[in-house]
Structure 1
Amino acid sequence: MPKPIKHKSDISLSAEKGDPQSQYNLGLMYEHGKGVPQDYTEARKYYRLASEQGNALAQLNLGVIYDKGQGVTQNQKEAVRLYRLSAEQGNELAQLNLGLKNEKGQGVPKNYEEAVKFYLLAAEKGVALAQYILGWMYGKGQGIPRDYVLAHMWFYLSELNGIEDGEENRKLIEKRMTQSQIKKAQSMVRNWKPNKK
């Protein structure tokens, strides 16, 4: 878990000594202009230092900077590379971003099967958007065999986690399901627990 951001001089000293958590925190400060002027170049510098030492959050945030082209030329391939490093360490937002990149073919060839793989990793950790997208993918049979029970379950979980459209889509899927399928999906939701690994 990230340590709370302290005073810039304390963090700068630790960051210059090579502490990856301090480098990450300093990157955050520069990215968001907290206690220092906003500066994406400095944010990128400190995220890169922390990223090279394996800090998953720095890898994610540096990936976002390249993904959006914040203070740097937009580079989808570099964003994907960084997301992959972070995702391999279990970062659920990097996993979600890799799902999106594979689904849309940004920085990698379009690959629905790979997208599903990464969405599942994020959804199983409770990421509502990944759950919602999986509802769609199971409902359409995109990258995975069509399964209305699983589509219903993922839409329902996304709804419970704050995605308003989850309810509407769950109700649309119900029109294609038998009562026993609906009950099975509801039971799966009741028994579902996020994977915190």
Structure 2
Amino acid sequence: MYGSGQGVRQDYAEAVQWFLKAAEQGHAKAQYNLGVMYGSGQGVCQDYAEAVQWFLKAAEQGFVNAQYNLGCMYVNGRGVRQDYTQAVQWYRNAAEQGFVNAQYNLGLAYADGRGVRQDYAQAVQWYRNAAEQGLAQAQYSLGVMYVDGLGVRQDYTQAVQWYRNAAEQGLAQAQYSLGVMYVDGLGVRQDYTQAVQWYRNAAEQGLAQAQYSLGVMYENGQGVRQDYAQAVQWYRNAAEQGHAEAQVNLGGMYANGQGVRQDDAQAVQWYRNAAEQGHAEAQNNLGVMYANGQGVRQDYAQAVQWYRKAAEQGVAEAQNNLGGMYAEGRGVRQDLALAQELFGKACQNGYPKGCDNYRRLKLGY
């Protein structure tokens, strides 16, 4: 009563005293509650080791919430040395009593091979147990297993079913994944309008990947009327969360003046943000901006640096661009042999200009 403030003024310190009296007499729920108080620092100084001690006493009596919490303490290394094997033991004890979060966490342990040998079939079993109790995260994870064919035969229709169950509970990642299934026509008839709906649901919850994907739909006019301003808005929302693809696309919108006033300096900023995350297309685009002096002072050495990063990731256009810098001696010492090699790589990777440049250089014109 003191802990919840029912019938008396809420007083955590007083609640701790009463929980302690009962816990010392072996009352499992009181032991669990005392562990919660120590874990959260309510009515006592926060002390994870004390929390573990009381959770253990309750867990050994079969108190399911304590078994689950003890598993969490072992996973997170709070009050005990991190020990995934012990965590699995306590999750299993709770899961076998039907505790839904423990079933899901046990599924995760099998999927990741933490504390047990990796076993996708076991992961599926425990995800399914939790999913059938309505746990959205388990429903989503079960959908992923069906998409990837891990522990079950690949079945897009089943994946859609489980994604939908989770999506209708408001799980953003499931809403996004359901949108992907509608875009790709996997397990459902392809339907861009439905994809937009599910992307929007997830995007409005702040999921960066969904915001980016919704931006793509607006840019391309898929499932919605083409609207560059809306595309920019959703790209920006995702880009500000550090989503590299969105940063590249937002840079492109600024470079082309689509949905925003044309602004090369802004394009450079967003390309740079993505390039510094290792995004190859952004690295090439940033190289182009330096080579042409768009949005930055022209700097061939910087152009070469960014072209090289993208070329090393296999971007054909960057290989061609870097070849051009070596052919002309811009930002590097002229090296026709290396230029020819780079043009050849670009050609082999399907870039027609690379083929043309390779032939010209080989023929000496």
Scaled by the length of structure 1, the TM-score of the pair is 0.85
Cα 1:146–1:39 shift into 2, 3 Å: same
Alignment check: 8 A CA contact 1:48 1:62 kept: yes
CA-atom RMSD in angstroms: 1.6
Cα 1:26–1:76 shift into 2, 3 Å: same
Instruction: String of CA shifts for 1:71-111, please: whole Å, max 9, x gaps.
Output: 21100000000000011111000000001000000000000
Cross-structure match for 1:176: 330
d(CA) in 1 for partners of 2:162 and 2:318? 45
Instruction: String of CA shifts for 1:102-157, please: whole Å, max 9, x gaps.
Output: 00000000000000000001111111111111111101111001111110011111
Cα 1:132–1:17 shift into 2, 3 Å: same
Long gaps (5+) in structure 2: 1-139, 148-157, 334-365
Cross-structure match for 1:135: 287
Alignment check: 8 A CA contact 1:101 1:107 kept: yes
Cross-structure match for 1:30: 182
- Which sits farther off after the overlay, 140-149 or 166-175? 166-175
Say which of 100, 112, 119 aligns to 2:271.
119
- Larger Cα Rg: Structure 1 or Structure 2? 2
Q: Give the deviation of 1:10 after TM superposition.
A: 1.4
Structure scoring higher RCO (CA < 8 A, sep ≥ 6) equals 1
Aligned residue pairs: how many?
178
Say which of 67, 85, 92 aligns to 2:244.
92
Long gaps (5+) in structure 1: 180-197
Cross-structure match for 1:64: 216
Cα 1:71–1:148 shift into 2, 3 Å: same
Cross-structure match for 2:96: none
d(CA) in 1 for partners of 2:290 and 2:255? 14
Match for 2:302: what amino acid? L
Cross-structure match for 1:147: 299
- For the residue of structure 2 that corresponds to 1:7, the secondary structure is helix
d(CA) in 1 for partners of 2:199 and 2:319? 38
Match for 1:176: what amino acid? R
Q: Give the deviation of 1:172 after TM superposition.
A: 2.7
- For the residue of structure 1 that corresponds to 2:242, the secondary structure is coil
d(CA) in 1 for partners of 2:249 and 2:172? 23
d(CA) in 2 for partners of 1:15 and 1:39? 17
Cross-structure match for 1:102: 254
d(CA) in 2 for partners of 1:75 and 1:125? 28
Alignment check: 8 A CA contact 2:302 2:331 kept: no
> Percent same amino acid among aligned pairs?
43
d(CA) in 1 for partners of 2:313 and 2:259? 29
Q: Give the deviation of 1:59 after TM superposition.
A: 0.5
Cross-structure match for 2:229: 77
- For the residue of structure 1 that corresponds to 2:259, the secondary structure is coil
d(CA) in 2 for partners of 1:104 and 1:88? 20
Cross-structure match for 1:160: 312
Give runs of ≥4 in structure 1 deviating > 3 Å: none
d(CA) in 2 for partners of 1:27 and 1:137? 34
Match for 2:330: what amino acid? R
Scaled by the length of structure 2, the TM-score of the pair is 0.47
5 Å matches for 1:3-14?
Answer: 4=144, 5=147, 7-14=159-166
Instruction: String of CA shifts for 1:41-79, please: whole Å, max 9, x gaps.
Output: 111111111011011111111110110001211000000
Match for 2:283: what amino acid? Q
